[in-house]
Chain A
Amino acid sequence: MKVITGVVGNDIHVVANRLIDLSLRARGYEVFNLGVNTHLEEFFDAAVETGAEVLMISSLNGEAEGWGREVKLLKSRYRTLDDLLMMIGGNLVVGSGRTEDIVARYKNYGFDIVCHQVDLNTGLDMLAELLQERGLQ
């Protein structure tokens, strides 16, 4: 199973990104890590080049709030990404907010799994569960 990961926008918080890379590999995924400072188009382009099944975006400084709004439109321009499983985690807003609201908002943006301030291992368990549900793992 191939996973694209990286930190969206102009966000340079790199520590979580390294941990995600290691943890995914430890769980047997093939990882394509785009690192920090990654733009949305690059995430989708990487999915096209690699045929990845999962896109796992991090946002630590909260920038994703802005980028999230563009996800649906941008993704609709790609012809081969309809089945891409989309996941996002980290600090998904600038400042604070109610988790239910934040999750609902990002689901509306087109994400299948939303992990606002959720610990990484819990998040990866959620991914495994969904993959199983969809008969992918």
Chain B
Amino acid sequence: MSQENQKLLIDVGSTYFKISTLDSIEQHFRDFNKDILDDLMNKCGDTVSRFQKDDIYICSSANGGLSALIIGVTNSFSLKYATNIAFNSGINIIDTILYQNIEDYSVPSDIIDVVIIVGGVNSHGGLFSGALYSYLSQLNYSNIVFVGSEQDAPAISKEIEKVVVLPNIIDDRLHIVEQHLKEYLTNLYQQDIEGKEDIKHLYSITANQIFSTPYIVNRALPYISQKFPVADPFILLDIGGATTDIHYSKDLVEDNLTTENEYDRLVFKRLGVYKSRQSLILAAQGNEFVYELLTHLKVTEKIFIDQNEKATRILMQLAIFLVLCKTSHYGQAYVNLKLLSVNSIVFTGGITKVLAIEDIETIIAFFYRKILSSGHRPVAILDSNYDIWTLGAKV
């Protein structure tokens, strides 16, 4: 047996964890009264103890990512570029602020994990002043980073305590420079995962770095055809307990920023079927097509109150519909995907254990007919054995 075959892969989610060896895959609901490590050892101690620390690989999606607030000077450049980089680093954007109107924005009451300040090419300066500092003095945040004009960096460093200054994300031709901010945000996300007490304990069984699950999934995408007959271009939906992630190839975006990675990712934070069930229902009730969809599925809105397997199944179907809506022209989200060009839709995550392929196909058909007025039907592919995650963990 080759070394690669002897790996044990563990994924810790918000709702359940799964462990995979060469020949088996197990999934267990988490017991939230227990520490993750205890819970894990309790349920799969035998399997875990068969492996060396070097051969155990763990990833976690348990915390749903970091929150960010972005302050920039224009919509077309600074805010757009920072938003793109933040999304690609797995960050959830709470709000974007157009600096010239900063006095008109209300100050969020939640603690923001990271504030990003951006604006100006390096040959321009003096873009920020007192209004920025007085806004920040009212804001609660854990980290703050400046990625604007290098001429403004000294003043920013002087006025804002603990600000991290990185190279400008806008170059001299007004193009995007991703690398430094992306690295910073990815590291923050990573530190956040590792900083969780629960996760720290897991280092007693692994000698490898613990990564975030979306990072692992994204890493698998270029190799996906090794496992599935996927026709390009495709999108991948990871519908989980607390969040829904959508990964898509760059060709599906109209407004193409030239960045180095092929696949982007977008997180819908409160769109999960277990932990964020209530907000999923709220989102569904706010969608004008959902009642028609419920009728199509032969259920009534009573399903929102039910707490049985059937209700979970319907909610998962709604989650698919809502995500597709959000990324279409109808949704007005950050991206507008060319859904009519999509040839395959790959599904992964908890959803694959609950829905059958027909349950998914009917939603896809309904979405394309109702929202896009089209007979186009991308092929649905179900990753029911967590092959994508296994692939990403092995890369």
Contact = CB atoms under 8 A, between A and B. Distances in A.
Interface of A: 2, 30, 32-34, 41-42, 44-46, 48-51, 78-80
Contacts of A32: 121, 173-174
Contacts of A45: 74-77
What 9 pairs between A and B have smallest CB-CB spacing? A45-B74, A51-B124, A45-B76, A42-B76, A79-B100, A49-B77, A48-B74, A50-B121, A50-B124
Interface in B215-240: none
Nearest to A46: B174
Nearest to B149: A49
Interface string B113-126: 00000011101110
Interface in B121-171: 121, 123-125, 170
Interface string B81-115: 00000000000000000001000000000000000
Contacts of A30: 123
30 contacts: A2-B123, A2-B124, A32-B121, A32-B174, A34-B174, A41-B75, A41-B76, A42-B76, A44-B74, A45-B77, A46-B76, A46-B174, A48-B100, A48-B119, A49-B73, A49-B74, A49-B77, A49-B119, A49-B120, A49-B121, A49-B124, A49-B174, A50-B121, A50-B123, A50-B124, A50-B174, A51-B123, A51-B124, A51-B125, A78-B100
Contacts of A51: 120, 123-125
Nearest to A31: B173
A13 to B, nearest CB: 21
B78 interface: yes
Contacts of B123: 2, 30, 50-51
A32 B173 CA distance: 6
Interface in B340-356: none
Nearest to A47: B74
A113 B149 CA distance: 30
Interface in B56-73: 73
A6 B32 CA distance: 58
B312 to A, nearest CB: 44
Contacts of A34: 174
Contacts of B75: 41, 45
A118 to B, nearest CB: 27
A105 to B, nearest CB: 27
Contacts of A78: 100
Contacts of A44: 74
A80 B100 contact: yes
Nearest to A49: B77
Nearest to A2: B123
